[in-house]
């Protein structure tokens, strides 16, 4: 046979072998795909599929049943159960038994509990009583916490909202968050809300719905810290109760001092702030008064806002609790222990916030002491 025919035959064989190899590789890759296909040939033997089954991987974990315990990692275990419908004039809630256990060796974030409906991106929230363990803070290692909580529907009169019906699939979620990120949960678990319980919640909605505008109560000057609900404490100030630091240590934690203004009473501090405020831009320095009280230190400023970083510094050897507000209606309570913020709230305002600061630090303040007595006052370089 001529050499040319040998070469042609060898070339054809090579192409056939290459095609077979490529086909095998393609088949092998297809067989490793997540999608699995099963066929059943017909009795006629034609090879045409009569059954086609496609199995897809699950996209999410199935939701738990109320009464089940969820493992959120790090030894943190959460159980929700005992549901019952309740409410008051401002709205309704789902009463639940919450059991939180930390079987690990390190503190774990306390879970935030919410109720979510199919038609709402935002969930309802738990109503925590003052003094109760709330969704901020941590669960100590080895601790077991059992408490009853009330979780509202996504709409609620306490937030100035109407209460729509909860339609479609509803679920409860327990989620943990980082200290400064409340948008992305670290971990979470979900429990399905039974349809009959959802019907009971919807049927219990007030009819007609409550007015979104909750009437503001009249100031009660006789109740604890009632004097803080009126002028000049109505808005635009910041106060902190600190335990564990001396006045010198507190002043260092607040920042560099631009000027020592001496001892001033409340009116004198106001006049100093007014004199240092730019009349065109309204820029003003931070003027703070601080003094020892009940074994701790009280810091007060007619202009300023306590940040988390500042509270962490003030609490490094104990506890610090602050309340800040502005003329725009921004209210913030922060609580820090041993250099870590363990609680924050935007719901406590006025005298309620002062009562909490008093309770957490065992430091009590009277109007006469704060306003009428002169206290060391400083102009800070920054805050």
pTM: 0.46
Strand order in the sheet with 340-345: 257-264, 375-380, 286-293, 296-301, 238-243, 319-325, 331-337, 340-345
Q: Is residue 267 part of a domain?
A: yes
- Assess whether 148 and 104 both reside in one domain: yes
| Domain termination site, one of 203, 234, 258 | 203
Assess if residue 10 is contained within a domain. no
In this structure, is residue 17 part of a structural domain? no
Do residue 334 and residue 254 come from a single domain? Answer: yes
Is residue 147 located within the same domain as residue 248?
Answer: no
**pLDDT tens, the chain, 383 aa long:** 343 334 444 554 555 555 555 555 455 544 444 433 333 333 344 444 333 333 333 445 689 999 999 999 999 999 999 999 987 766 678 899 999 999 999 999 888 888 888 766 555 555 544 334 444 478 999 999 998 888 877 765 554 456 677 877 889 999 887 765 556 788 999 999 999 998 888 888 766 544 444 444 455 555 678 888 876 666 689 999 999 999 999 999 998 889 999 999 999 999 998 898 888 887 888 899 999 999 999 999 988 889 999 999 999 888 999 999 887 778 899 999 888 888 888 888 888 899 999 988 989 999 999 999 999 999 997 65
Neighbours of 294 (CB within 10 A): 14
pLDDT at residue 121 in the model: 57
Whose structure tokens read 């109503």? Answer: 127
Q: Is residue 304 part of a domain?
A: yes
**359 and 283 inside one domain:** yes
* Cβ 237 vs Cβ 297: under 8 Å: no
Distance from C-alpha of 375 to C-alpha of 370, rounded to nearest angstrom: 8
Instruction: Report yes or no on 313 lying in a domain.
Output: yes
Q: Can you give the pLDDT at residue 17?
A: 54
Asked if residue 208 belongs to a domain, the reply is no
In a domain, 54, yes or no: no
Going edge to edge, which strands form the sheet with 76-88? 69-71, 76-88, 91-102, 144-152, 126-127
Number of structural domains, the chain? 2
Domain that holds residue 290: 226-380
């Amino acid at each position: 046979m001529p050499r040319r025919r040998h070469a042609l035959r060898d070339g054809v064989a090579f192409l056939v072998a290459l095609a077979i190899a490529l086909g095998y590789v393609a088949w092998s890759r297809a067989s490793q795909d997540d999608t699995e296909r099963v066929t059943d040939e017909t009795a006629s033997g034609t090879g045409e599929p009569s059954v086609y089954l496609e199995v897809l991987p699950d996209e999410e974990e199935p939701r738990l049943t109320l009464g089940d315990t969820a493992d959120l990692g790090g030894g943190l275990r959460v159980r929700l159960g005992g549901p019952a419908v309740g409410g008051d004039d401002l709205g309704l809630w789902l009463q639940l038994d919450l059991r939180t256990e930390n079987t690990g060796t390190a503190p774990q974030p306390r879970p935030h509990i919410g109720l979510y409906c199919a038609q709402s991106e935002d969930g309802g929230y738990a109503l925590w009583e003052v003094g109760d363990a709330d969704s901020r803070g941590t669960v100590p290692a080895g601790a077991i916490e059992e408490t009853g909580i009330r979780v509202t529907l996504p709409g609620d009169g306490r937030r100035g909202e109407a209460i729509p019906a909860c339609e479609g699939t509803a679920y409860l979620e327990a989620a943990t968050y980082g200290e400064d990120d409340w948008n992305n949960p670290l971990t979470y678990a979900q429990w399905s809300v039974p349809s009959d319980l959802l019907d009971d919640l919807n049927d219990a909605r007030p009819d007609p719905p409550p007015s979104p505008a909750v009437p503001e109560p009249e100031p009660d000057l006789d109740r604890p810290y009632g004097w803080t609900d009126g002028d000049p404490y109505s808005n635009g100030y910041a106060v902190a109760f600190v335990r564990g630091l001396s006045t010198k240590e507190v002043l260092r934690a607040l920042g560099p001092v631009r000027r020592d203004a001496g001892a001033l009473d409340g009116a004198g501090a106001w006049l100093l702030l007014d004199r240092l405020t730019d009349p065109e831009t309204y820029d003003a320095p931070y003027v703070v008064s601080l003094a020892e009280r009940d074994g701790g230190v009280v810091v007060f400023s007619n202009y300023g806002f306590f940040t988390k970083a500042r509270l962490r510094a003030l609490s490094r050897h104990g506890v610090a609790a602050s309340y800040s507000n502005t003329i725009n209606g921004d209210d913030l309570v922060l609580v820090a222990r041993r250099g870590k913020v363990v609680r924050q709230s935007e719901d406590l305002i006025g005298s309620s916030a002062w009562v909490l600061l008093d309770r957490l630090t065992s430091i009590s303040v009277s109007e006469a002491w704060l306003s009428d007595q002169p206290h060391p006052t400083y102009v800070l370089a920054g805050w």
